[in-house]
Amino acid sequence: MSTYARLPVSFERGEGAWLWDTTGKKYLDALSGVAVCGLGHAHPAVAEAVCDQARRLVHTSNIYGIAKQQELAERLATLSGLDKAFFCNSGAEANEAAIKLARLYGHKQGITVPTIVVAENSFHGRTLATLTATGSRKAQAGFEPLVRGFLRVAYNDLEALQTIAKNSPDVVAVLLEPIQGEGGVNVPDDDYLAGVRALCDQQGWLMMLDEVQTGMGRTGKWFAFQHSAIVPDVMTLAKGLANGVPIGACLARGEAAEVFKPGNHATTFGGNPLACSAALAVLDVIEKNDLTARAAAVGDRIVDRLCDRLINCEGAECKIVDDIRSLGLMIGIELDRPCGALVAKALEQGLLINVTAERVIRLLPPLIISDQEADQIADSVAELVIAFARDSGA
């Protein structure tokens, strides 16, 4: 179906941060399949884990014990400080699990219309409930009636949440991205998540963080909440978890981890041996190569270089760049005008980037990029912006 306005390119091979299209042209990937292939393309450890598992056992069913799933849950619990995991196949499904968990948690306390607070400009997926949670009228238009039980607040605004706490007794949870990805790489104030945590504790709300894009080392920690010295009650993961093999996870701790009972929630494919083997290989590689620290360092390197070229200068380009926001390898360059056309221009030059929220160039390179590749990304993006400023008469 025509659900995608696809770019005129198709790739047939990848290695590390590089892709080759069907004509043999080579591209530097500064997007990683939108924050999925954190280890780059065709990583040998993931390939080996998938091949090895496929030769032994791909799928049984969640009717039976799955040793690899158990192992993955334990590893993620140790890394995150949460207690238990439910595995599914995508980010939207992980958030659906979180939404259902919060509703059940509310009903168990006698709240008949349990309500979840979500943020403006958020993105949580395309299923009906996650689309309702998503703060984009454009994404929602035409799919009404949407789902009941959500309240929207401005992102990074603790006062707005406090007002809800005073006026809305049916709230059971808050669902937020620690950094908004699709919404424009919006990095909240340093004390925002700690403030949300304190309010959730005071109100008995579940603090639920959507780390589908920010998780798995991308921001320089395993999970973005770890920059804030807090632990959420519920966290969702997907994208980078198995480097492109479809998997999602909803983790929870304490009371939240005990909400679901047999029969409350399920999936056929979720957490099967194949996907879990790929995810376990991803965890090993991130750990062995300290890729969280690497993401922090190389992200700073790219941003410093971008700032030198695009912020600390006298040229026209510096007038069109409103802001550069980042944490680790999640980088947004906000221009003062729509810049979607830059995606095709970059592609022509052999570079994969993305533009989100109309005016924000988004870079999500693999965590394994070399310094040289990082410099190439920064220089190419700077050149694109400089040419764009010149061509659009800044």
Ligand X SMILES: Cc1ncc(COP(=O)(O)O)c(C=O)c1O
Catalytic residues: 123, 210, 239
CA distance 16 to 27: 11
Cis-peptide, bond into residue 365, ω within 30° of zero? no
Residue pair 368/40 in contact by the 8 Å Cβ criterion: yes
By C-beta, is 206 or 320 nearer to ligand X? Answer: 206
Question: What DSSP string describes 2-44?
Answer: ------S--EEEEEBTEEEETT--EEEESSHHHHT-TT-BT-H
Residue nearest to ligand X (CB): 91
Q: Which of 91, 195, 220, 271 binds ligand X (CB under 6 A)?
A: 91
- Judged by CB under 6 A, the number of residues near ligand X is 14
By C-beta, is 252 or 385 nearer to ligand X? Answer: 252
Q: Is 238 in the site for ligand X (CB under 6 A)?
A: yes
- Give the end-to-end CA distance of the chain in Å, rounded to a whole number: 39
Q: Is 219 in the site for ligand X (CB under 6 A)?
A: no
Site string for ligand X, 183-212 (x = CB under 6 A): ---------------------------x-x
- CA distances, 345 to each of 381, 387, 388 (Å): 10, 10, 10
By C-beta, is 329 or 389 nearer to ligand X? Answer: 329
By C-beta, is 31 or 320 nearer to ligand X? Answer: 31
Q: Is 175 in the site for ligand X (CB under 6 A)?
A: no
Instruction: Pick the stretch among 24-32, 42-50, 84-92, 286-294 that binds ligand X (CB under 6 A).
Output: 84-92
Q: Which of 38, 114, 181, 232 binds ligand X (CB under 6 A)?
A: 181
Closest CA to 124 of 187, 196, 175: 175
Strands (E), the chain: 11-15, 18-21, 26-29, 84-88, 115-119, 150-153, 171-176, 206-210, 234-237, 248-252, 321-327, 330-335, 351-352, 354-356, 360-363
Q: Which of 29, 182, 317, 334 binds ligand X (CB under 6 A)?
A: 182
Residues 6+ away with beta carbon under 8 Å from 150: 115, 116, 117, 118, 132, 133
Site string for ligand X, 110-149 (x = CB under 6 A): -------------xxx------------------------
Q: Which of 92, 97, 118, 172 binds ligand X (CB under 6 A)?
A: 92
Q: Is 225 in the site for ligand X (CB under 6 A)?
A: no
Least distance (Å) between residue 230 CB and ligand X: 18
Instruction: Pick the stretch among 175-183, 279-287, 299-307, 337-345 that binds ligand X (CB under 6 A).
Output: 175-183
Instruction: Pick the stretch among 90-98, 276-284, 300-308, 335-343 that binds ligand X (CB under 6 A).
Output: 90-98
Closest CA to 298 of 241, 370, 208, 390: 370
CA distance 360 to 132: 23
Q: Which of 177, 233, 317, 334 binds ligand X (CB under 6 A)?
A: 177
By C-beta, is 29 or 182 nearer to ligand X? Answer: 182
**Maximum distance among all Cα pairs of the chain, rounded to whole angstroms:** 64
Residue pair 46/241 in contact by the 8 Å Cβ criterion: no
Distance of CA 24 to the CA centre of its chain: 30
Question: What DSSP string describes 191-209?
Answer: THHHHHHHHHHHHT-EEEE
Q: Is 29 in the site for ligand X (CB under 6 A)?
A: no
By C-beta, is 309 or 362 nearer to ligand X? Answer: 362
Query: Which residues bind to ligand X, rule: CB under 6 A?
Result: 90-92, 95, 123-125, 177, 181-182, 210, 212-213, 238
